[in-house]
Amino acid sequence: MRELTIDATVENIGAVTDFVNEQLESLGCSLKAQTQIDIAIDELFGNIAHYAYHPGVGPATVRVEIVQDPLAVVVTFIDRGMPYDPLKKADPDTALSAEEREIGGLGIYMVKKTMDGVSYEYKDGQNILRITKNI
């Protein structure tokens, strides 16, 4: 397991992505799975950066774990910002046109559809959002 604690800012999304990709490359992760994980990082870390400590800035920890049977990567996002469970938001109606749909929710919907597991808990004053992708 490896961890990175960094200020939750939009400018740090690239550093978080690079950190996770280092772990993925050591596994021989497919480009498709890596791209899906990168998109999830952009969405999830971006949400922390925009909303967790608004209007201020605070730290976020990104933890990468490799599990076996099946081989998978688990990326955990931890922050001490405002409690928020993005999984409680109803999925957008993708049958509607972009103009007809409510704003928001499409990013977390994409994360839920492309990951093999997504979970959230609020524990000890921390938001803990975990994504799992089978490799």
Nearest of 42, 39, 20 to residue 29 by alpha carbon: 20
Evaluated on CA atoms 10, 51, 82, 45, the torsion sign reads negative
The domains of the chain, with CATH numbers, are 2-134 (3.30.565.10)
Residue 27 confidence (pLDDT) above 90: no
Nearest of 14, 9, 13, 34 to residue 23 by alpha carbon: 34
Q: Using only C-alpha atoms, what is the Rg of the chain?
A: 15
The reported pLDDT for the residue numbered 37 is 98
The reported pLDDT for the residue numbered 104 is 57
pTM across the whole model? 0.91
pLDDT digits (tens, 9 = 90+) for 93-134: 566 565 665 555 578 989 999 999 999 999 999 999 999 999
pLDDT digits (tens, 9 = 90+) for 76-94: 999 999 999 998 876 655 6
Beta sheet of 72-79, edge-to-edge order: 2-7, 59-67, 72-79, 126-134, 117-123
* 85 three-class SS: coil
pLDDT digits (tens, 9 = 90+) for 34-78: 999 999 999 999 999 999 999 999 999 999 999 998 999 999 999
* 115 three-class SS: coil
